[in-house]
Amino acid sequence: MATIEFHGLSKRFGDITAVDGLSFSARQGAVTGFLGPNGAGKSTTLRMLLGLVTPSEGSATIDGNRYADLDEPFRRVGAMLETDAFHPGRRAREHLRILATAAALPATRVDAVLEEVDLVDAGHRRVKGFSLGMRQRLGLASALLGDPTVLILDEPANGLDPDGVRWLRQFVRTFAGRGGTVLLSSHVLAEVAQTVDDVVIVAAGRLVAQSSLADLANRSRPGVRVRTPQVTALHDALTTRGIRVQLVADDALVALDSTPETLGLAAAAVGAVIYEMTPEHFNLEEIYLELTATDEASQ
Amino acid sequence: MRNLISAELLKLRTTKSFWAYVASIVVFVPVSIALSITVGNDQNPLTTSDGIRGVFSAASSGLLMAVLIGITMSAGEFRNNTATPTFLITPDRRRVMAAKVLAGSILGVLLAAISAVLTVAVATPWLHARNVDVNLLSADVITPIAGALLSLALGVIFGIGIGGLIPNQTIAITVLVVWSSIIEALLTGFVPAVGRWLPTGAASALGGTWTIEGGLLTFWPAALVLALYSAAAAAAGTHLITRKDMT
């Protein structure tokens, strides 16, 4: 079992509070998306989990232990934090060999991970000639070297082409499917919506939401879009019934928290002609933007 | 710890800058011998003990390069962000620094040994051609070679410490070069009583270059002074790196 837990985690850099009392967890066998706009404190949080940054307050643990207190942490937790953690003059294989040597891992692991990330042919090449996508894969290979059960990935989809994103999605799903724990960050929900089971959303260093992706989707309250020449009449009719309405065009409005049935009855009552009536589709990205924007506005 | 030391040495072997430093040491040695024998020091002709020591002091002519290698061992990890995987594998950063210091001393001794062999191979026939026969077991040869082994090992450690104190590699190298070749050279020139206690002064005493008026420290006090500088730099560098937030 490998559960990642954050308890009241905070980090201040001088006057700036990068992470502010963050508490959440990532469960075993699932992919947890750690989402928030750039500068929300995601990287700092992950770095505190990995013992690279010292928290000002609170704790971040893996199975109840701080990373630094784990026995052979590299064999339990794999991390990919930046796309340029390589000496540009070293060959990919040399980079991995150094890590394997330091971690006392057999040299065979180097070949195994190069194969796993599909980088065998580039193993002898110097990293400075690598594309961003190749660097991401080499970073992932480094994370996998110790054959870990926990994977921490900071913006892993950054710079990947659509093929690369699909490949990463499959990889991460398989890893979690085998019982691994994955915590991956992104500033774009759409990028990871098909990959994650759970979402943790932060803005300005604070937790905004933690739920399963399905529950987040259910937060979208049903709305109905109506096209009618009698917009004003319908608007007033709905408002008097306590329904929130947004005028979206000269001949169209959106009724929030509403259903086509309610709309139909209200329209019949004022004799409004309906040209078109569409239940509004759920849009995860809008919920995400709303959640993260609200918090920023309250700062 | 053995794994970490091997990894540190592997890190060096897989970078071009390391081999450039080694190559320049190999070039410096014969150049230094040539200068001692041909230009020489009028006060220390080759017939004197000091003259011979001056020639064999070529064994430690790679000292500055040794310090630079040390700086790349610590500050270089921050320049290329490889400090992140290094600290992920070994969260106890004091162990990382200890491995660097141990690997660095092994390397320093190795580089000094190569320099010593090269010095003997170049200087002995050259001196013979000038009708100066040298007993390779005399103190005039053994002392500068022993000094080279000590000063290069301590030099790498000193560099590791400086790189830890100044993690920006470019600034660290600049500070070192300005300090050793300008500030310390001026201090040594104008206030030799102070200069003999400074790192370069102590290293010169170990290596066998007798160029400072007022005299340098003798061998063992000089070794002790240089060891203290290196230990202090390494301890301070480790202290800083241990507390550094890897953002």
DSSP for A250-275 reads TTEEEEET--HHHHHHHHHHHT---S
Confidence of residue B214 (pLDDT cuts 50, 70, 90): low
Separation between Cα atoms, residue A69 and residue A73, nearest integer Å: 8
B242 close to A (CB below 8 A): no
B82 close to A (CB below 8 A): yes
Buried residues in B202-239 as b, exposed as e (16+ CB within 10 A) = bbbbbbbbbebeeebbebeebbebbbebbeebbeebbe
B81 close to A (CB below 8 A): yes
As a whole number, the mean pLDDT across chain B is: 89
Separation between Cα atoms, residue B118 and residue B129, nearest integer Å: 17
Same domain, A213 and A270: no
> Residue B31: pLDDT above 50?
yes
Residue numbers of A between 49 and 68 with CB closer than 8 Å to B:
50-54, 67-68
**Of the candidates A13, A21, A2, which has an alpha carbon nearest to the alpha carbon of residue A208?**
A21
Check residue B40 and give its pLDDT. Answer: 65
Is A64 a domain residue? yes
> Rounded to two decimals, what is the model's pTM?
0.85
Contacts of A73 in chain B (CB under 8 A): 88-89, 91
Range of the domain at A53: 4-218
Model pLDDT for residues B95-138, shown as the tens digit of each residue: 999 999 999 999 999 999 999 999 999 999 988 888 888 888 88
Domain end, chosen from A201, A218, A235, is at: A218
**Of the candidates A2, A5, A3, A13, which has an alpha carbon nearest to the alpha carbon of residue A53?**
A13
Q: Residue A208, CB half-sphere, CA atoms under 13 Å: how many?
A: 26
Contacts of A82 in chain B (CB under 8 A): 81, 84
Identity of the amino acid at B70 = G
> Average pLDDT, stretch A203-216?
86
> Residue B42: pLDDT above 50?
yes
Is A183 a domain residue? yes
Contacts of B84 in chain A (CB under 8 A): 52, 81-82, 85
Those residues whose C-beta lies under 8 Å from the C-beta of residue A240, and which sit 6 or more positions away, are none
Is A187 a domain residue? yes
Question: Dihedral angle at the C-alpha atoms of B29, B30, B32, B38, nearest 10 degrees?
Answer: 160
> Residue A294: pLDDT above 80?
no
Maximal C-alpha separation, chain A: 79
Residue numbers of B between 88 and 107 with CB closer than 8 Å to A:
88-92
**Are the Cβ atoms of B87 and A91 closer than 8 angstroms?**
no
**Are the Cβ atoms of B80 and A88 closer than 8 angstroms?**
yes
Counted across chains A and B, CB pairs separated by less than 8 A come out at 82
Check residue A254 and give its pLDDT. Answer: 82
Separation between Cα atoms, residue B127 and residue B132, nearest integer Å: 5
Same domain, A10 and A63: yes
Same domain, A130 and A232: no
Q: Contact, B205 vs B217, CB < 8 A?
A: yes
Model pLDDT for residues A53-109, shown as the tens digit of each residue: 999 999 999 999 999 999 999 999 999 998 888 999 999 999 999 999 999 999 999
Same domain, A160 and A236: no
Residues facing residue A223 across a β-bridge: A256
Predicted ipTM of the assembly? 0.88
Beta strand ranges found along A1-66 (DSSP E): 4-13, 16-26, 31-35, 57-62
Is A9 a domain residue? yes
Q: Which residue of A has its CA nearest to B78?
A: A85
Q: Residue B136, Cβ neighbours under 10 Å: how many?
A: 12
**Are the Cβ atoms of A85 and B90 closer than 8 angstroms?**
no
CATH number at residue A30: 3.40.50.300
Range of the domain at B208: 2-243
φ, ψ of residue A173 to 5 degrees: the values are -60, -45
Same domain, A51 and A196: yes
Q: Contact, A14 vs B214, CB < 8 A?
A: no
Is A102 a domain residue? yes
Model pLDDT for residues A131-166, shown as the tens digit of each residue: 888 899 999 999 999 999 999 999 998 878 888 888
The distance of A49 to chain B (nearest Cα, Å) reads 11
Q: Contact, A173 vs A157, CB < 8 A?
A: no
**Are the Cβ atoms of A101 and B7 closer than 8 angstroms?**
yes
Same domain, A202 and A262: no
Is A127 a domain residue? yes
Confidence of residue B211 (pLDDT cuts 50, 70, 90): low
